[in-house]
Chains A and B, each alone.
Chain A
Amino acid sequence: MRALRADGFPEAEVRSRARTGAAAAFPPGADYGTTLFGGAATSGCPAADPLDLARLVPPVFMPRRLEKLIDLGREPLYHDVDLGTDVGGLRSPLPVYVSAFGSTMAASADVGESVSRQAGRLGLPMVIGENVVALGGYGRTDDAPERSMLRRLRAYAEALPDGLGGVAVQQSTEDADAEVWNLVYSDPSALPLLDSGRLAFELKVGQGAKPGIGGMTMVDRDSAVLLRGRYPLEAVHGTGELLRSSSPGTYTEEILRQQIRLMRNNFPRARVWVKLPPARDVAAAAAIAWQAGADAVTVDGAEGGTGWAPSAFLDHVGLPLGECLLRIGHRGDGLLASGRMWEGTRCVKALALGCRAVGLGRAALLAADEDRAAGLERFVRCLELELKLLTSALGRYTPADLTPEDVWFPRAFDGRSPVAHLDHDAAPRP
């Protein structure tokens, strides 16, 4: 019998914490490995993102369309849009790449390989996540087991057309122990990508779903034995599985600058990408990354993420992607963005606000899960059509021509207009 009631108070949540302790800080343990997390995973509604509130606004007068008309000698149509894009030094047929997935079982099984194969066929650049080697092995001397980095690389590279795509291999602070970049850079399997300029290394400074903390996975007792001493392990769920946490690493301006310089120094033939979390100083960090020579800066909005994260972080920590893009501004540098990307309008808004390309995370996994053979390819064809329709509607014929004036924000958003030049009456942004 319960002695107390607390109407209007989240009584059930409090009682859940009282029953299960630390496990209640996470989504239900039974969902691990089969559910993709990320913003709104537990609350059901995403935090307000300027991108969701914004609209794409075609003009009447279109000087670019006139240029295209002159070029073609006929009225241009949406299929005249050329979506080919340089994505951080890698050539892509669309302003789209496949993001790294979390290291949960959901991203580690055959879905990961299916995504790799389809992304390769499409010629889309693909990021291989930080934990693939740490948890699945490299696969060089252990017969390329299912989850290994090598298996992903092979599945991708075998299907890749000439002159397109490429792989960005992530490394975070704790992966430095496994020397993932050194391994790939000196491995014969990666040589064709390196020789054709299609290998990049991505420094993972942080991630969208858990800004400020490192990667997390649930591991069984057998795996835990192998990881003990290298990662902190905690039995939060009391189910026999352990929470493996890693550190995001400590950064100052100088640490970030020098790490990027060292990447360029040590891997002169690889492209250098830097992945930033949706942090309040994301603009300063991006500026330092570019200044130090990064070919691309990836920003993962707080809506992003596929992996395991504490519920508190999913909806209440980190800037929404739109705010990150507004803070960074339209700079013409190699800015990439990910976070809830799955349909054309969000992608085009992000491109108009300064991104060179957008990353598919959960969408790519779900599409491949729907049909291992061709789900991602069909999904991307649909996205391609939307991108062409929307871009041409704005009187643009390449993604690089999109500008912030193609996006309109409601005046009332957050008490200020995020795009000053569209709102001359608004108070200046702080």
Chain B
Amino acid sequence: MTTIQLASDATAAPPGLRTHLSAPRTRCAVAIQQAILQAARELLVGEGFTELLAPVIGPVTDPGARGSKQVDIDYYGHRYKLMTSAILYKQASLLSFGRIFYIAPNVRLEPLETANTDRHLTEFHQIDVEIADASRDEAMAVMQAVVTHAVRRVLDHTADHLDQLGRDRSALTELLDGPFERISHSAAVRRLHDLGHPQDPAAEIDWAGERLLSAGARRPFFITDYPKGSRGFYDRESTTEPGSLRNFDLIAAEGYGELSSGSEREFEYRRLVARMRETGENPAKYGWYLDLVRDGIPASSGFGIGVQRLTRYFAGLDAVWQASMFPKLPGVVSA
């Protein structure tokens, strides 16, 4: 069996499990994470959202994660998947409630090259939100509200932990200074080209590019309008600018990179089937989902915020694994 070598410059390498679990750094990170989750729940429930328990397995899951493999399980002889994200279930759940969220566990067998990015875990959690009949702007506003509410709570309730970790609190108070900036994907590509980074204009902002943009920012910012061909079939294509998706990512400041992705969703049957083919999917395996869609599901917008990534950013941690009790890095066998 091939062993994955983590980079020797080592934020990437977790210590032994006992050392990690008993480290003050781990306790501080989890305390900050708890404040984030409490704040997210408080804000969302206050805004009329219903918290649902997230599905863990299903015959299909989100195929939109770049290059990562889904985990197959043998479900009485049928191939089921662990959730890479519950996006399809979120859309379906809007038949019961108009505003929903999960704190959802996800598993993605990420490409091995991500073992050294400091920001990929194969097992992670998302604050996963979906809003019926909402525009992209409404979803972005809710996302910003969750993030700023969480940062307030972290500053108010876990200041000691931030100090213990050596986190500069003023970097976090800057998040409270009004709306996050927005730039389009094409503007982000131009900015990267100006910085000498060879970003493909038809693709997702690559990891190095994302780090460059993030490192040059003092506050989180949104990147909007990713090109079709860079995301899953459920991100809605603009009706006025074909080829452009009505989606957004939230990028952290200080080089911490992407925190969250969201979009307006495709919800019309014909468009969804065509988009499935454009993303190389076989519609037959999405039977339960397409049956619902054919009879109608609500239009919606939504997003997922990476809990461990947000924790890493707020806590100022070197690597995202430090925000997980039992971190699982791509290709690395661990607890």
Contacts and interface: CB of A to CB of B under 8 A. Distances in A.
A240 interface: no
Contact of B277 (A171, A191, A255): A255
Interface stretch (A265-273, A339-347, A355-363): A265-273
Contacts of B206: 268
B229 A176 contact: no
A292 B200 CA distance: 12
A173 B280 CA distance: 6
Contact of B331 (A171, A188, A266): A188
A333 interface: no
A255 B280 CA distance: 8
Interface stretch (B8-16, B42-50, B105-113, B189-197): B105-113
Give the bracket for the number of chain A residues in contact with chain B.
35 or more
A268 to B, nearest CB: 6
B277 A229 contact: no
Interface stretch (B25-33, B67-75, B87-95, B133-141): B67-75
A177 B280 CA distance: 10
A182 B79 contact: no
B183 interface: no
A179 B65 CA distance: 12
Given A183-B69, A255-B274, A269 B228 contact: no
Given A176-B280, A255-B277, A261-B229, A189 B2 contact: yes
Interface in A168-226: 171, 173-174, 176-177, 179, 182-183, 185-186, 188-189, 191, 203
A262 B230 contact: yes
A110 to B, nearest CB: 24
Interface in B183-208: 200, 202-204, 206
B239 to A, nearest CB: 15
Interface residues of B, number: 35
**A interface, over-half SS:** helix
A249 interface: yes
A254 interface: yes
B70 A255 contact: no
Contacts of A255: 274, 277-278
B204 to A, nearest CB: 5
A267 B229 CA distance: 12
A259 B279 CA distance: 5
Nearest to A268: B206
Interface in A343-374: none
Contacts of B202: 261, 264-265, 292-293
A207 B4 CA distance: 37
Contacts of B4: 188
Nearest to B60: A177
A188 B1 contact: yes
A179 B66 CA distance: 12
Nearest to B280: A259
B112 A186 contact: yes
A258 interface: yes
A186 B228 contact: no
A249 B280 CA distance: 9
Nearest to B274: A255
A263 B200 CA distance: 13
B281 interface: yes
B306 interface: no
A251 B202 CA distance: 20
A261 B228 contact: yes
B327 interface: no
Most chain A Cβ neighbours within 10 Å, of B206, B281, B330: B281
A273 to B, nearest CB: 14
Contacts of B227: 261
A265 B331 contact: no
A261 B3 CA distance: 31
A239 interface: no
Interface string A264-285: 1111110000000000000000
Given A191-B112, A261-B203, A265-B229, A186 B281 contact: no
A176 B68 contact: no
A262 B229 contact: yes
A186 B282 contact: no
A43 interface: no
Contacts of A179: 69-70
Contacts of A189: 2
B2 A188 contact: yes
A250 interface: yes
A247 B280 CA distance: 13
A263 B203 CA distance: 10
A176 to B, nearest CB: 5
A179 B3 CA distance: 23
A199 to B, nearest CB: 11
B122 to A, nearest CB: 9
Given A174-B282, A177-B79, A188-B2, A182 B69 contact: yes
23 contacts: A171-B280, A173-B280, A177-B79, A179-B69, A182-B68, A185-B69, A186-B111, A186-B331, A189-B2, A252-B274, A254-B274, A254-B278, A255-B277, A258-B228, A258-B278, A258-B279, A262-B229, A262-B279, A264-B203, A265-B202, A265-B229, A268-B203, A269-B113
Interface of B: 1-4, 66-70, 78-79, 109-113, 200, 202-204, 206, 227-230, 274, 277-282, 285, 330-331
- Which 5 A/B pairs are nearest by Cβ-Cβ distance? A261-B229, A188-B2, A258-B278, A182-B69, A265-B203
